[in-house]
Amino acid sequence: MPLDVRRPIRIRFEHTRFPHFGNHSGYPQFPRFLDSRRYETSLHGASDDGTECARRLYPFRPLLQRLISRGGLRWYKLSDFNAELEAFLACLRGRVDIVHFLDGEHSGQYLPRMLRMARISSVRVIATFHQPPSILRDLIDPNLLSRFDRIVLMSPSQVPYFAQHVATDRLRVILHGVDTDFFRPRTAPTTGARLRCITVGHWLRDWDVFKGVAASMPEVSFDVVTGRKTLLEEGPNVRLFRTVEDDQLADLYRQADVLFLPLIDSTANNALLEGLASGLPIVSSDLASVKAYVPDPAAILVARNSVEGFVAALKKLHADPDLARRMAMAARARAMELAWPRLVGDYERLYEEACHEPSVRG
């Protein structure tokens, strides 16, 4: 049954709290840009460490752990079940029109079935998936996908995988966004003689290639911001930053000359977007998902993660300041196209559409 959209649409966002995300990074940023006259929103986070559990569930933890292990989402934890139960109770009270799971690989395992058993067809359930098909195949039971009213994808490269399991009219590709007010270019040109590169993050980074490039270019400085183990060691030209505050991260981007991002695989990438917004030329891997976000004038993309190819790209940028300036301008221009206020309209259209069509749960 279509929803009554004469009042604001009430959306409950469920996401996973990752300790390495700051207050200006990550996917949960966009709900605050929705039109407050048309949407009433609430954002709820479940800890990625899996320890959160409502007191009423304590006696049942062993049983719940066994149930969760058979549920079909490999990354699903007790804290995710706790979050889904809270969302279900809000739906029972009639306080929710849409539940949007912002991290579909982590949550959304049981709520659609709970709603069906309770004969609640007025709530739409949406999930966003972030991982590339190379990981999704071993991560989720594809039978779960049919229970969502809409699925949001981060890259066109994900579509072939999901189209095998879900009707394409229920899939939406909405590119990831970035806070272009917080992440912005430096106002004065760099004065250092050394080329300075920055690498941020840990997931699906090709650290072996990074080490090969850093070892081949002792004349280049590399700043690495990552809170995870990478087997990297600080050296004459490599600095490691394990924990940084938001302002320090933005400053590190502004102090750099190039975003150097060798990737094993990708869909969307926070570091890539933040580098664009900071006006940095991009040197990264030649992946279809990267091309979806970065236009040719802003990036040099290296095929097959060749160490020699990355070395040549960095040398080219260092030797040609005019090229670097043109790439920097193109990077910032692309970031402005991906600024959250520009992209949020895609989500508003998605929610309006979902409200006007019947739920998959009848």
Q: What is the DSSP string of 236-262?
A: TTEEEESS--HHHHHHHHHH-SEEEE-
The average confidence (pLDDT) of the chain is 92
- Tens digit of each residue's pLDDT (9 = 90 or more) over 293-307: 998 999 999 999 999
Q: Residue 257: its pLDDT value, please?
A: 97
Instruction: Place 63 in a pLDDT band, splitting at 50, 70 and 90.
Output: confident
Say yes or no: do domains 9-177+340-356 and 196-337 share a fold.
yes
Instruction: Place 187 in a pLDDT band, splitting at 50, 70 and 90.
Output: confident
Q: Residue 281: its pLDDT value, please?
A: 98
Q: Does residue 5 register a pLDDT over 60?
A: no
| Structural domain 9-177+340-356, CATH architecture | 3-Layer(aba) Sandwich (3.40)
Instruction: Place 191 in a pLDDT band, splitting at 50, 70 and 90.
Output: low
> How is the chain split into domains, by residue range?
9-177+340-356, 196-337
Q: Give the rounded percent of residues in the chain with a pLDDT score beyond 90.
A: 80
Among 3.40.50.150, 3.30.465.10, 1.10.10.60, 3.40.50.2000, name the CATH number for the domain at 196-337.
3.40.50.2000
Q: What is the distance between the alpha carbons of residues 317 and 313, in angstroms, rounded to a whole number?
A: 6
| Mean pLDDT (whole number) for 303-325 | 97
The HSE-up count of residue 89 (CA atoms within 13 Å, CB side) is 7
DSSP secondary structure letter of residue 8: P
Place of tokens 């049954």: 1
Is pTM beyond 0.75? Reply is yes
Q: What is the distance between the alpha carbons of residues 65 and 63, in angstroms, rounded to a whole number?
A: 5
